[in-house]
Amino acid sequence: MIELIAIHKSFNGAKILNGVHFKIRKGETFVIIGQSGTGKTVTLRHIAGLTDPDSGEVLIEGVRMNGARNRVKEKLRKKMGIVFQSGALINWMSVRDNISLPLRENKLFSPDEIERITNEKLELLQLKDAADKMPADISGGMKKRASLARVLVINPDIILYDEPTSGLDPVMSEHINELIRRMQKDFDVTSIVVTHDMQSAYHIADRIAMLYRGEIVQCGTPDEIRNTENPIVKQFITGQVTGPIEVA
């Protein structure tokens, strides 16, 4: 479904990804953990074709994303939805208009269908009371939920999540976790999730991969990660101060 092969990437001489290699199966929820600045979001951007590697290959359903012509990239991106950490809402549009935008751009739906689908997602993400508000007038958590609703209206095959539960209270975090799982169960959606939230990672993941210094140091099931003997992974998941991970 999705494969990264020996991905190397540097910015301004600083090595961010150093030979990252993994394969994600169709319908899998694949979680990437690791310290801030270790390349998790950069990895997502490679999968989405927003960043090209210095070397290596990004394959989406066997088609090479990096270096592809724009029309090929656009065709691959139409299979995806991206939930950015910031929400990335359009400031001059209401929450309702932000969510319905992909449907209106698609031009395949009638106004009544657009309204029905949009209202369905507003209800699902508990945003009905905020539907007519502007992004500046809602909380960070609401922005994140609105961003997710905007993705869900297009029923993507692949969803990329950048810290989906950060800034949310425990109840809403659990709601988002359940929604990610429901998308997998009901629609066979493939999800790639970047998170620092280990409780969320254990709950939603089929497999968890840890990035450290630009490399995947372990990839396994939640139980394998929870019971790891890898000192780097163990220090990260338990939050210990002492260990091989240097605290900047």
Considering the domain architecture, whether residues 71 and 86 belong to the same structural domain is answered as: no
With a threshold of 0.85, does the pTM exceed it?
A: yes
Backbone angles phi, psi at 56, to 5 degrees: 105, 180
Whichever domain contains 35, its CATH number is 3.40.50.300
- Report which DSSP code applies to 209: E
**173 touches 165 (CB < 8 A):** yes
Residue 107: phi, psi to the nearest 5?
Answer: 60, 25
Whether 175 is in a domain gets the answer no
One domain for residues 197 and 244: yes
Let me know whether 43 and 90 are in one domain.
Answer: no
Sign of CA dihedral 60, 174, 164, 219: negative
Torsional sign, CA 111, 113, 115, 118: negative
Determine, yes or no, domain membership for 60: yes
Tens digit of each residue's pLDDT, the chain (248 residues): 899 999 999 998 899 999 999 999 999 999 999 988 889 999 999 999 999 999 999 999 999 999 888 899 888 988 898 887 766 788 899 999 999 998 888 777 888 999 999 999 999 888 999 999 999 898 877 888 898 899 888 889 999 999 888 878 888 888 889 888 888 888 889 999 999 889 999 999 999 999 999 999 999 999 999 999 999 999 999 988 888 887 66
Length of the chain counted residue by residue: 248
How many folded domains does the chain comprise?
2
Q: Which residues constitute the domain of residue 244?
A: 1-79+183-248
107: in domain: yes
Q: Are residues 36 and 110 in the same domain?
A: no
**What spatial distance separates the first Cα and last Cα of the chain, rounded to whole Å?**
36
Helix (H) or strand (E) holding 212: strand 207-212
Same domain, 40 and 11: yes
* In-domain check, residue 194: yes
Q: Mark whether 66 and 91 lie in a shared domain.
A: no
In a domain, 207, yes or no: yes
Instruction: Clarify whether residues 31 and 50 are in a common domain.
Output: yes
In terms of domains, do 146 and 25 share one?
no
